Every structure is written in C-alpha cells, then in structure tokens.
Structure 1
C-alpha cells in the first residue's frame, strides 16, 4: 500500500507540473479513479500550489527547483498521512497563501505611498509657486508704497515746482509726464506715461535745460508702457526761474549731451 501511495504521489506531482508522459498520465488517471480520501486531498493541495505559483510567474515554466520543492512537499505529506494527513498540508498552504497575500499588500501599499508622495510633491510645488507669486506682488506693492512716500516727501517741501510735459508730435504724440521738483532739497520725482518700451541697448535720459544748456538729470527705462512710471531724481538743485525739462532716447547709460530724438518736453 505504501508503494501505491508513493507511486500516486510521484505521478500526482508530475501531473500538476505537466511533466508526465502519455503512459504515465494514463496510469495516474487510473490511480486517481481509485484514490482514497487522503490521496484526493493531496491531489487538491498540489493543484492549488501549482496554480498559485503559475499566478506569480505566468510566462515561465516551473523551474527544476520548484518541481523539487513540490516533490519534497508531496513526499512529506505522504510520509505523514498516517498521523497528520490533513494538518501538515493545510499548515503549508495557509503559510504560503499568507505570504502571497502579504506580498500583494506590500506592493499595493508601496504603490499607494508612491502616488501619495507624488501628489504631495505636486501640492508643494503649487504652494511654492503661489508663495513666489505672493512675494512678487508684495515686492511690487512695497515699491509702489515707497514711490508714494517719496512723492509725499517731495510734496511736503516748502517750495515745489510742478512742470507738465507733453509728447512730441513726430516721436510720441500720446505721451505725457510731469516733474515734481523740490528745489531746496534738490529732489524731484518724474512721472511719465504712454512711453514706448526702451530697446535693450538704449535708455531714456532726462535733461534740465537752462539758458539753452542741457544738464543731465539721470537715465531710466520703461518696461510697461500701459501704466504710469515713476522715477526718483536724487540731485537736481538750481535757482533758475526759467528753463525746461526734456526726455530723449540715448545709448545705454546716457551721454554727456543729447544726441537722440526727443520724446517729451515741458517748460517751467
């Protein structure tokens, strides 16, 4: 009987691994038809093991080591059938399936953490962009506040001259501007609007013209012609009661004497 059990175990293992010849397969089918309850249990368990291994590697044939592992499992089960016919295989299957389940849980958890990490990184990038935009807005507001404070400081001076400037017909007919000048403090604030954007190799240059002699009052550039542009003039002291302010376009950094086209002009 033991030999029959060993033969059944051997053929059963080969059957689940698709490793039997035609004659061996016929022999196994004959033994299977006469199998007792313990042999049928062994057959079911070996089929389950082979099926789960095929799930893990569906594109590959079972390796020699896998076949040997199943053979050893089957032999162990057969040797212990007399005392623990169902406990040993059930224990093996439960451990194996638990390991497989744990592996899948680990994989899905890792994938979930990966997607969560990517989502968190995207949120952080979005927040960083928002913060950068807010910082830029704050800087613009601070600059605007500073310009207004400078304007108020000049307007609070005891004597202030306001010189209105108009655009030149042939270069900038829609342009306009003004100079708010604190003569005593030697400070002035220039406001211009509707001025063309300055090329990268050019600057606008402000001139104070007294007795026909132009005096440079600084250079500036216009980046946005759609809004008013303010520029602070630090040193502009004069006791002149008559004169004019003019703006020309000059090479980058300015020149000692005006050479370019005039864009704005205003008389005191």
Structure 2
C-alpha cells in the first residue's frame, strides 16, 4: 500500500470532520492501527482542527441570558411559618411565549452551532490550503536547490575551461598522442605538456570506463625510471581536457597504466595501456 498517496487523498481530513461512511471510518481506524505514519497524520489533523475550533469558538449573545431570566420566575425559598404549618409553593404555568412565541434560547443555540460548524468547515478548507502551499513551497525549494547545483557545476566547468585555455595558449606547449596497445586497441589520449611551466593535461578521447575504485595514471619516464605524473578519469565526459595535479620538468617518454583510485607509487606493468616517447 502506498501510504503517501492514501494520506494525500484527503480521507483523513474527512474522517476528522466526521463526513465519512461507516466503511471508510472502519478502514481509516484499521489502517491507522497498522501504519504509524497514518496514525501520526491523523493525530496532527485532530489536534490542528481542535486548536482552530477552540481559537474561533463563538460565545452565545448576552441577550440569551436576559431572555432566560425574564422567562423564568425564581420564587423565594419556602419559609416555615411560626405556627408550624407549611406554606404551599404556588405552581405557575410556563409562559406560552417560551413554546410558540418569538425566538427562543434553543433557536439561538442552533444558530450558534450552525455558525460554529461553518467556521469548522472553513478552518478545514484553510488547513487544506496551508498543506497544499507547504507542499508547493517544498517542491519549489527542491527545484531551486537543483538549479543552484547545476549553476555551480557550470561555473566549475567554466573555470576549468578558462584554466585549460590559459594552459594551451602559453608558450612552450608540446602536444603528444598516446595510442593504446593490444589491451586497449581503441585507446587514444592527447597529452599536453608545457616545458616551461611544467604543467600537464590530458584529453582521453577514447578509453574504456573503469570501476569506481580504479583510475588511469600517467607516468613520465626519466632516466629509464617511471615518475608519477598524476591520475585522471575516463567515462561519459572522457572528451574533456583534464589538468593533472603533478608537474613534469623532464620526460623521455610518457606511459599510461590502470591503478587503484588515488594513484600508486609504482606502476603496474601488467595494466600498461599506452606508451610514447618524447620527440626531441
């Protein structure tokens, strides 16, 4: 059962107002005993309507009390005479006006009850509107947060593109192409190396995606020994230029291996995918 849809159907509000059928009443009572969420929502609705009715209660007009006092004749309590005989309390007939003449206290109370019921229905309407507005506000807030996240991502990409443009426009830039071996025959990586600023960036045009715990790692060969040149990813955005967080001042060749996420101090030769010498 979808509890959220059941609560949103409005059956709980109708139950609190007492306008449900016997079958619906039994259904609400049964489900509220099974699902704590429905029980909590039912309690909150009952408390809200009770508080609203208490705050907007209607006092009967003061004229009702005066009319009642005029229609009721309060006799003085019987006093026992000196001779010991009891005096008989006179019996007076009820004024006909109480039964048939003009508005009575019962009519006034019926009118007051009708006004109270009207206010109760109106409060239920306002409460429903409040819940609807709260849901709309929550949805708007969620959409706003999503837009802010997208805007932040766009700004980050713009910043990255500006940095890459600055890197590519600086003098001393060398561009190399690393093609995959038999382990990655379709592999193709463009390497950007600035021999003056020692910055390195890669553009993996076609590399197979890796598991979440793996990354590609670039190595620079110096004196026949591999030196860590940084890690990079490949996936749905593998055509973006990625700037590595290592500087390379010297290099006789560049190679790419698959290592654990974060990089490894030494390359795993069994995962070597590409290697290319640096042309003088």
Q: Closer, same or farther in 2 for the Cα pair 1:101/1:152, shift >3 Å? A: same
Q: Is the 8 A contact 2:256 2:274 kept in 1?
A: yes
Matched, 1:200 2:215: no
- Indicate which of 245, 250, 264 corresponds to 2:254: 245
Farther off after superposition, 188-197 or 158-167: 188-197
Alignment of 1:182-261 (within 5 A): 182-222=194-234, 224-225=235-236, 227-240=238-251, 243-259=252-268, 260-261=270-271
Higher relative contact order (CA 8 A, sep 6+): 1
Give the equivalent residue in structure 2 for 1:41.
Answer: none
**Shift in Å at residue 101 of structure 1?**
1.6
Give the equivalent residue in structure 1 for 2:3.
Answer: none
Matched, 1:86 2:100: yes
Q: Closer, same or farther in 2 for the Cα pair 1:263/1:127, shift >3 Å? A: farther
**Shift in Å at residue 239 of structure 1?**
4.4
Alignment partners' CA distance in 2, 1:163 and 1:216: 18
Equivalent position SS for 2:104: helix
Q: Closer, same or farther in 2 for the Cα pair 1:267/1:79, shift >3 Å? A: farther
Q: Is the 8 A contact 2:206 2:238 kept in 1?
A: yes
**Shift in Å at residue 134 of structure 1?**
0.9
Equivalent position SS for 2:197: coil
- Indicate which of 141, 149, 153 corresponds to 2:154: 141
TM-score (norm 2): 0.59
Q: Closer, same or farther in 2 for the Cα pair 1:194/1:129, shift >3 Å? A: farther
**Alignment coverage as a number of residue pairs:** 191
**Which sections of structure 1, spanning at least 5 residues, go unmatched?**
1-54, 60-71
Alignment partners' CA distance in 2, 1:199 and 1:141: 26
Alignment partners' CA distance in 2, 1:122 and 1:187: 51
Q: Closer, same or farther in 2 for the Cα pair 1:84/1:201, shift >3 Å? A: closer
Q: Is the 8 A contact 1:165 1:267 kept in 2?
A: no
Q: Closer, same or farther in 2 for the Cα pair 1:116/1:196, shift >3 Å? A: farther
TM-score (norm 1): 0.61
Q: Closer, same or farther in 2 for the Cα pair 1:155/1:229, shift >3 Å? A: closer
Q: Is the 8 A contact 2:98 2:104 kept in 1?
A: no
> When you count helix as a share of all residues, which structure comes out higher?
1
Q: Closer, same or farther in 2 for the Cα pair 1:238/1:125, shift >3 Å? A: same
- Indicate which of 175, 179, 186 corresponds to 1:162: 175
